[in-house]
Amino acid sequence: MQLGAARVFERWAAGWARRRQGADTHAVELKRRRIYVLPTRFGLVFAAMVLAMLLGSLNYGASLGFMLTFLLASLGFVAVHHCHNNLLGAEIKFLGAAPVFAGERAEFRIAVSNSSAIPRLEIELKRGDHTAGPTDVGPGATETLRLGLPTERRGSAILERFRVETRYPARVFRAWTWVHMDARCLVYPRPAAPGRPLPLAAADGATGFHHAGDEDFAGLRPASSGDPPQRIAWKAYARNDVLLLKEFSGGTQEPCMLDWDMLPDLDAEERLSQLTRWCIDADAGGRSLGLKLPGNVIPLGAGPKHLAACLEALALFGLPR
């Protein structure tokens, strides 16, 4: 929980840093000039304690009190450098983000690399209240963190800015840097609730009504993420360790050409949601699929890549590119 004022201040400070250091590419090495260090709340309490000890030592003229006071104060000072050093030279790289449906969490995969000879401990990524990590990055190692961001609307979720932060070693100081990189995550429209049946209009020249079923086995193709697990060829997997997907004859299943104009009763966003739902259903049913949007026509096709292309078209429909 951050206070409102603190959040406003952070936004202002981050804007200042953005103007100072410019936008980042998808891979940045953290340089000295962009790493900021400030005490944490725990650090302020620690400082107050050391100050109280200093006053007490002065008052009692207690040499050993001074000794302890200065040892703790020096530990604090040294912690600043260790904290700063923990970030200095680390490399931050945006690896990508898998598309999600609106309402889901977009997960930006960000790699923290350590090319130095000593480990970097407890590195965190932060965006507002959302945190990834902390993670320890060994010498020469790279760790991937997933920074989650809730999505509401279709389009591109932009991770406009995030913080790379560490409070290691003593938790009395926080070293951080703001990274401004063009990290985007494609957000598909939120699928409408199931209900409306798939419009199985023949694409060109009705070939007649076929029994909609999954019985007509057509062959196997390599499986990829997003395929329904019930159609994985598990027996084939057991034989030769390759995940294959059972394909069913497209001929027996009606192709599905979805059209923007099929849904005159809905407004634009609702239409996109419904089309999204149908795309998913059609793909799950193993049908080939086409999409006709104003100004953008995707011909019939099948497979996850094709589905992704359809969904992307829906996601970006009408948005400035």
Partner 1 sequence: MTSAVAQRGLELPLEVRRLLWTAAIVVGASLPHWATLAAWMPVLLVAAVAYRLTTAVRHWPLPPRALRIAVALAAFFAVLFEYRTLNGAQAGSALLVVMVALKFVEARGQRDELVLVMLCYFLIFASALTERGPLWAAYVVVLIWLTTVAMLNIGRRGEFLPHRTAALTSGRLLLHALPLAVALFVLFPRLPGPLWAMPGSTSSGATGLSETMSPGDITNLGLSDEIAFRVEFDGRPPRADALYWRGPSLTNFNGRTWSMLQGTRRGGRVADSTEYRGEPTTYRVMLDPNGRNWAFALDMAARWSDDNTLRMGSDYQLGTFFGAPRSRRIEYTVTSYVDYSAREPLTPNEIEMFRRLPGDSNPRARALAQSWLVDDPSGAAIIARAMDYLRSQPFFYTLTPPALGAQPVDEFLFETREGFCEHYASAMTVLLRAAGLPARVVMGYQGGELNGFGGYYIVRQSDAHAWTEVWLEDEGWVRVDAVAAVAPERVALGSTRYRSDRGFIASTMLSNTWLRQAMLAWDTINTRWQAWVIGYGPELQRALLDRLGFGGLRRAQRSAVLLGLAAAATVFFLAGLSGYLAWRKRRHTDIDRAAACFAKFTRRLARLRVRQRAAGEGPGAYAEHAATALPHVAAEIRAVVDLYLRARYEPDADGAALAALETQVAAFRPAQA
Residue 229 touching partner 1 (CB under 8 A)? no
Structural tokens at position 124? 């965190």
Question: Cα–Cα distance between 272 and 237 in angstroms, integer?
Answer: 37
Shortest Å distance, C-beta 140 to partner 1: 5
Which is nearer to partner 1, 74 or 207 (by Cβ)?
Answer: 74
The 8-class DSSP code of residue 24 comes to B
Which of 14, 37, 47, 72: binder of partner 1 (CB under 8 A)? 72
Part of the chain binding partner 1 (CB under 8 A), chosen from 5-13, 74-82, 180-188, 219-227:
74-82
Site for partner 1 in 18-47 (CB under 8 A): 42, 45-46
Shortest Å distance, C-beta 194 to partner 1: 40
293 φ, ψ (degrees, to nearest 5) = -115, 155
Contact track, partner 1, 171-210, x by CB under 8 A? x---------------------------------------
Shortest Å distance, C-beta 55 to partner 1: 7
Question: Cα–Cα distance between 38 and 67 in angstroms, integer?
Answer: 25
Using CB under 8 A, count the residues that bind partner 1. Answer: 50
152 φ, ψ (degrees, to nearest 5) = -120, -45
Residue 118 touching partner 1 (CB under 8 A)? yes
Exposed/middle/buried for residue 70 (C-beta within 10 Å: 0-12, 13-18, 19+): middle
Which is nearer to partner 1, 84 or 93 (by Cβ)?
Answer: 84
Residue 75 touching partner 1 (CB under 8 A)? yes
Residue 1 touching partner 1 (CB under 8 A)? no
Q: How many CB atoms lie within 10 A of CB 166?
A: 26
Residues sharing a CB contact under 8 Å with residue 316, sequence separation 6 or more, in sequence order: 154, 155, 156, 186
Which is nearer to partner 1, 91 or 104 (by Cβ)?
Answer: 91
Question: Cα–Cα distance between 106 and 187 in angstroms, integer?
Answer: 8
Part of the chain binding partner 1 (CB under 8 A), chosen from 82-90, 145-153, 228-236, 274-282:
82-90
Exposed/middle/buried for residue 147 (C-beta within 10 Å: 0-12, 13-18, 19+): buried
> Following CA atoms 226, 232, 234, 240 in sequence, which dihedral angle do they give, to the nearest 10 degrees?
-80
Residue 121 touching partner 1 (CB under 8 A)? yes
Decide if 272 contacts 317 (C-beta within 8 A). yes
Which of 1, 19, 22, 61: binder of partner 1 (CB under 8 A)? 61
Decide if 254 contacts 248 (C-beta within 8 A). no
Question: Cα–Cα distance between 145 and 149 in angstroms, integer?
Answer: 13
Residue 53 touching partner 1 (CB under 8 A)? yes
Q: What is the CA radius of gyration of the chain?
A: 28
Part of the chain binding partner 1 (CB under 8 A), chosen from 50-58, 258-266, 299-307, 308-316:
50-58
Shortest Å distance, C-beta 241 to partner 1: 23
Shortest Å distance, C-beta 173 to partner 1: 12
Residues that bind partner 1 (CB under 8 A): 42, 45-46, 49, 53, 55-75, 77-82, 85, 88-89, 115-119, 121-122, 134, 139-140, 167-171
